Amino acid sequence: MAKLTWGMIGGGAGSQIGPAHRLGAGLDGHFAFAAGALDHRAADGVAYGRSLGLPDDRSYGTWQDMLAGERTRSDRVDLVTVATPNATHFAITKAFLEAGFHVLCEKPLTMTIEEAEEIVRLAAACDLICAVNYGYSGYPLVRHMRAMVARGDLGRIRLVKAEFAHGHHADATDADNPRIRWRYDPAQAGVSAQFADCGIHALHMACFVTGQAVTELSADTVSCIATRELEDDAMVNFRMDGGTVGRLWTSSIALGNQHGLSLQLFGEKGGLRWAQEQPNQLYHMPLGGRLQVIERGEPNLSPEADRATRVTIGHAEGMPLAFANLYADLAEAIRAREEGRAMDPAANLYPRAEDGLRSMAAIFAVAQSGRNAGAWCDARPPMFR
Ligand code: NAI
């Protein structure tokens, strides 16, 4: 099978998330890394791209140069990943969609709901794939949770509890460190800090596994480190369109928590519990039964979990493999379009621009509710009301 080609904007030397994308995109051999504008310092980006093996004429200094260079090539890249800081996502994603490229954008999709709606409309009008990197949805047992809910194993889901609470910004004496301070500065981060950075992953996971969308929410947001303008902790209560009640806690001052991402579901016929730091085990409590441990890689899981599993049972599974599952889904989506066939339903799970838009609406609702003593707010984007 011919490889698809892939380009990246952002993810330069020393970036946090660039290496995970390169590992994820290349892991299964679906995508060959063919072009990039990797750094906000043009010369550094060009040099780093070359060091990663990009040809001289496809290691670009700026994303505008990459757009100009790629759009006229007969072998233009099949997919562009946008892994730059948040405030640049909208302009870059819009420009590449307008030029006819499929895009995978990092979260949050944009800085405002209006921008996210524009991206959703544009991708639909151009009939292009626009995905958002809620990469944790790529874990095999997360996909298995979704499959168990969809096939009714748990009955109606009464409650979902999602957490993304880490302790890496807990040091008040380090709050002015420039690598941390910008995240809590409204001019650079937007209306929300911790919820927009981490809480939306937990919220997306709650929606992904239940197959439901958030309708309204109430948020208690707080800056535990008083010099911060934006929240470093939030407790969000929410309601979903299938009747499920949601509870979400996100924090960056939870000392002792490392990554701190976990999800629990409580249905009429059973409960499920999964934590990202132990991704190979899913705990299932059937009503009236005994607690069971579902292991990644065991026989007779769902097609969605089987498709996303590479290493055999018992071996450790890393976070880039979850990203790799999104890239494998995107490769299947692009190929299905090119070949004029329906895509494998077990691959049709990558988060869409619509998910990015719903997150933007949730971010604004959390900020609004937090400012208004936890008043319940409509959390749906205007175009989905
Ligand atoms: P970072 O600050 O570590 O790296 C950003 C990279 O983008 C740097 O190499 C920088 O030089 C480059 N860059 C900045 N402006 C650019 C421009 N105009 N053109 C080309 N390159 C440019 O940031 P990090 O942590 O890697 O985050 C990047 C994005 O990924 C953010 O939107 C963040 O929210 C998201 N992210 C997503 C995660 C996930 O699990 N999905 C996890 C961590 C970050």
Residues 274-287: tens digit of each pLDDT: 999 999 999 999 99
CA of 15 to the centre of ligand 1 (A): 6
CA of 91 to the centre of ligand 1 (A): 15
- Say how many C-beta atoms besides its own lie within 10 A of residue 385's C-beta: 8
Residue nearest to ligand 1 atom 11, measured at CA? 39
Residue 188 clears pLDDT 90, i.e. is over it = no
Q: What is the 3-state secondary structure of the chain?
A: CCCEEEEEEECCCCCCCHHHHHHHHHCCCCEEEEEEECCCCHHHHHHHHHHCCCCHHHECCCHHHHHHHHHCCCCCCCEEEEECCHHHHHHHHHHHHHCCCEEEECCCCCCCHHHHHHHHHHHHHHCCCEEECCHHHHCHHHHHHHHHHHCCCCCCEEEEEEEEECCCCCCHHHCCCHHHHHHHCHHHHCCCCHHHHHHHHHHHHHHHHHCCCEEEEEEEEECCCCCCCCCCEEEEEEEECCCCEEEEEEECCCCCCCCCEEEEEEECCEEEEEECCCCCEEEEEECCCCCEEEECCCCCCCHHHHHCCCCCCCCCCCHHHHHHHHHHHHHHHHHHHHHCCCCCHHHCCCCEHHHHHHHHHHHHHHHHHHHCCCCCEECCCHHHC
CA of 319 to the centre of ligand 1 (A): 17
What is the identity of the amino acid at 328? A
CA of 243 to the centre of ligand 1 (A): 36
Confidence tier at 320 by pLDDT (50, 70, 90): confident
pLDDT at 179: 82
Confidence tier at 131 by pLDDT (50, 70, 90): very high
Distance from chain centroid for Cα 290: 33
CA of 16 to the centre of ligand 1 (A): 7
CA of 146 to the centre of ligand 1 (A): 29
d(CA 82, CA 105) in angstroms, rounded, equals 5
Confidence tier at 178 by pLDDT (50, 70, 90): confident
End-to-end Cα spacing for the chain: 43
Residue 317 clears pLDDT 90, i.e. is over it = no
- Say how many C-beta atoms besides its own lie within 10 A of residue 315's C-beta: 10
What domains can be seen in the chain, in order of their start residue? 4-136 (3.40.50.720), 137-310+355-378 (3.30.360.10)
pLDDT at 5: 97
CA of 104 to the centre of ligand 1 (A): 13
Q: Model confidence over 210-225: pLDDT tens digits? A: 999 999 999 999 999 9
Q: Give the atom of ligand 1 at the shortest distance from the alpha carbon of 37.
A: 20
d(CA 296, CA 380) in angstroms, rounded, equals 34
Q: What mean pLDDT value characterizes the chain?
A: 96
d(CA 74, CA 376) in angstroms, rounded, equals 52
Burial of 339 (0-12, 13-18, 19+ CB in 10 A): exposed
Pocket residue to mutate for ligand 1, from 103, 106, 195, most atoms within 8 A of Cβ: 106
- Say how many C-beta atoms besides its own lie within 10 A of residue 91's C-beta: 15
Contact 58, 36 (CB under 8 A): yes
**Nearest in space to 244 (alpha carbons), one of 266, 271, 220:** 266
Pocket residue to mutate for ligand 1, from 9, 22, 39, most atoms within 8 A of Cβ: 39
Q: Give the atom of ligand 1 at the shortest distance from the alpha carbon of 134.
A: 41
Ligand 1 site residues, Cβ closer than 6 angstroms: 9-12, 15-18, 37-40, 63, 83-86, 88, 106-107, 133, 135
Residue nearest to ligand 1 atom 19, measured at CA? 40
Residue 1 clears pLDDT 80, i.e. is over it = no
Q: Model confidence over 133-146: pLDDT tens digits? A: 999 999 999 999 99
What is the identity of the amino acid at 277? E
Percent of the chain exceeding pLDDT 90 equals 94
- Backbone φ and ψ of 185, nearest 5°: -105, 115
d(CA 108, CA 208) in angstroms, rounded, equals 16
CA of 314 to the centre of ligand 1 (A): 33
Q: Give the atom of ligand 1 at the shortest distance from the alpha carbon of 12.
A: 9
pLDDT at 315: 86
- Say how many C-beta atoms besides its own lie within 10 A of residue 247's C-beta: 15
CA of 83 to the centre of ligand 1 (A): 5
Residue nearest to ligand 1 atom 15, measured at CA? 40
Residue nearest to ligand 1 atom 34, measured at CA? 107
Contact 353, 116 (CB under 8 A): yes
Global ipTM: 0.99
Q: Give the atom of ligand 1 at the shortest distance from the alpha carbon of 18.
A: 26
Confidence tier at 319 by pLDDT (50, 70, 90): confident
**Cβ contacts of residue 201 below 8 Å, gap of 6+?**
107, 134, 136, 164, 261
